[in-house]
Amino acid sequence: MGPLLVEYPISVLILYFSGETEDLVDTMEAVTGLKNALEDRGHKVRVSEVNRKNWKRAANLPGDVVINLVEDPTWELYIKVGTYLEKNCRAQFGHDMHSFRYVTKKAKVKRRMQKLGIPSPRFRVFNRRSRILRVRGLRYPLIVKPSGQHAGIGISQASVVKNQKGLTARVRYLFDNLPGEVIAEEYIEGREIHVTVIGNNRHVVSLPVCEIIFGGNFEKNWSVYTYEAKWGKGSWEYEEARAHAPAELNTLTASRVERAVIKAYRAFKCRDVARMDVRLDKKGKAYIVDVNMNPSLNRFDDQDATVKSVEALGWNYEEFIETLVGIAYRRVHGRLPDRIRERQFMLAAPKIL
What was the pLDDT predicted at 230? 87
Task: For residue 161, give the 3-state DSSP assignment.
Answer: strand
CA distance 262 to 116: 13
Q: Percentages helix, strand, coil for the chain, rounded to the nearest 5? A: 40, 20, 40
Question: Would you kindly state where each structural domain of the chain is located, as residue ranges?
Answer: 11-94+315-352, 122-186, 190-313
Give the type of residue at 151: A
- On whether the CB atoms of residues 237 and 229 are closer than 8 A, the answer is yes
- For the segment 163-170, the average pLDDT, to the nearest whole number, is 93
Q: Is the pLDDT of residue 342 over 90?
A: no
| CB atoms near residue 299 (< 10 Å) | 21
The CATH H-level superfamily of 11-94+315-352 is Response regulator (3.40.50.2300)
Long-range CB pairs of 86-91, under 8 A, 24+ apart, other chains included? 88/59, 88/60, 90/59, 90/63, 90/66, 91/64, 91/65, 91/66, 91/328, 91/329, 91/331, 91/332, 91/333
Q: Let me know if the fold of 11-94+315-352 is the same as that of 122-186.
A: no
What was the pLDDT predicted at 96? 84
- Express each pLDDT in 23-80 by its tens digit: 788 889 999 999 999 999 999 999 999 999 999 999 999 999 999 999 887 788 988 9
CATH 3.30.470.20 given to domain 190-313:
yes
Angle among Cα 295, 299, 301 to the nearest 5 degrees reads 85
CA distance 245 to 234: 22
Q: Is the pLDDT of residue 242 over 60?
A: yes
CA dist 283 → 162, 189, 260, 280 (Å): 22, 10, 16, 8
CATH code of the domain occupying 122-186: 3.30.1490.20
Chain centroid, CA 86 distance in Å: 20
Chain centroid, CA 337 distance in Å: 27
Please provide residue 245's backbone torsions phi and psi, each rounded to the nearest 5 degrees. Answer: -140, 145
pLDDT, the chain, mean: 89
Query: Percent of the chain having pLDDT more than 90?
Result: 63
What was the pLDDT predicted at 21? 82
Q: Where are the beta strands (DSSP E) in the chain?
A: 11-16, 44-49, 65-69, 123-126, 142-146, 160-161, 182-186, 190-200, 203-206, 210-214, 241-244, 272-281, 286-292
Q: How many alpha carbons lie under 13 Å from residue 337 in its C-beta half-sphere?
A: 20
Lowest pLDDT segment from 149-153, 238-242, 291-295: 149-153
User: What is the torsional sign of CA 190, 194, 199, 200?
Assistant: positive
pTM for this entry: 0.89
What was the pLDDT predicted at 106? 81
What was the pLDDT predicted at 341? 67
CA distance 95 to 292: 10
